[in-house]
Chain A
């Protein structure tokens, strides 16, 4: 699993990752998935959408640093192996241990501070996923305060525009902000739920603002869906 920039792979964690055998990496990944499932006590509901091995972009609301790893861990094992969550480089890339963990759950680390013209997050994502991997993105960009969903950034629109063949799957994650809120270090192992809804696509002729608000509404709509 290639990291975005060579810096992320430096240090002992990087060396360990490079040296690690495939089975060891799988073991770490499996352990992370298990721990994430136990800590978040997550229940997954698929509504009008089935787990399938095909290229997809899962987009979800964002309230906690745990979101990426919990959503990844909640997917079935075969899908998980082909799915890369986009995570913040300033959090997951800080320190050898976090970097090792991030790499084990196939995180695609994006630096939110240094966005360059030819290194825009969307470019990086598209380059990294090729036509194999699925992606987990959080279009709000940063974690919401009080669990209220913010406006979606345009990245999702450009992803949809450049890769119209990929399904966009809305995901609503509930209670994650109570398990690990902003500014806290230790998670409280409460229960949470993930609702995965009907895939959407960019309609022909649909504008950026329209599409983004429609995407946001589909996520919001999952919040109130009865089980």
Chain B
């Protein structure tokens, strides 16, 4: 009986949220591939990828295409987070709160074995919060700088002086690299490689989490749903 209820699946993310996640990672991967192939144009990787992408011009068009899909997604996501009940609630959960700062210290102490108390996370744990806001900030920077870079190709380059365009260009490429490294090291570890998740956490497809895992990793949320102690 106990075991049965432990394996019970609880829906965490609805279909709209799951589709947003899929569109996000598909566009990000495509943007990274098309972007990094320009950054590394001089290596076998760059030459090979640019060849696949239909030459330098094709690469640019592909990059722009996915950039506009990402912009569309960001607009939709902002509307969803502001105006839908579910989205609004999620944002209130993922916002940083005072307890998070205590949790940072606590998780360090816990990880180093200096404390036996495990930080009690809510619907989103620290890593998830950081990753979400890193993506928000990253997308914002990449979209703003990307649009400035596009000015030149739309024939309105004269709005931005060359030195500012150069800085924008630099930030766009370094920020892209940073996002790539952080997301791909951290997020891939969290949902694919970390013990207990390998080879893949299925939540992105099903939107579900098992009751035992919820109790283990999101005890505050568990309490909210089922009441009483875990």
- A-B complex is real: no
